[in-house]
Amino acid sequence: MPPLAFFCRRRRCGCLVALAAVSVSDESVEVREAIDALRREGKAIFVKRLKRAVKEGQLPAQTELKSLAGALNTMLEGLSIQARDGLSTSEMRRLAAHAVRLLPAGACAEVTAA
């Protein structure tokens, strides 16, 4: 999937999980639980990929995986909301460049996708 493939060209969309997380009413218990499970799954995917990066020497062994995964996931969810609000592709790329700065010192310059 090419970078920014999630970005809708014709209409504002963003990520259903990120947007639903801030939109679901407290009365919709089943929906909230399902969305919470999807959000936990997203964080777990980040942790899994970061563990692989440590194993492959792309990240230092002492990297705090859970907190880094949480930070990257938070940035991704925020970008999803920004996409829905109509942020331009060039601005999305500039914001995404900051995610790389979240990686610890000694991280490989080019970390591959999952």
In a domain, 4, yes or no: no
Residue 89 is assigned to a structural domain of this protein: yes
pTM of the model: 0.70
User: For residue 107, is it within any domain?
Assistant: no
Is 3 domain-assigned? no
Report if residue 110 sits inside a domain: no
Report the chain's terminal Cα–Cα distance, integer Å. 11
Q: Is residue 70 part of a domain?
A: yes
Classify residue 50 by burial, with Cβ atoms within 10 Å: 0-12, 13-18, 19+: buried
Query: Considering only CA atoms, which of 100, 95, 108 is closest in space to residue 4?
Result: 95
112 lies in some domain = no
Domain range for 67 = 16-101
- pLDDT, tens digit, for every residue of 57-81? 999 999 999 999 999 988 888 888 8
Relative orientation angle of helices 89-101 and 65-84, to the nearest 10 degrees: 170
Angle at 101 between CA 62 and CA 76, to 5 degrees: 100
Q: Which residue has the tokens 């997380």?
A: 21
pLDDT tens column, 36-65: 888 888 889 999 999 999 999 999 999 999
- When divided into structural domains, the chain yields a total of 1
In a domain, 55, yes or no: yes
What's the mean per-residue pLDDT of the chain?
78
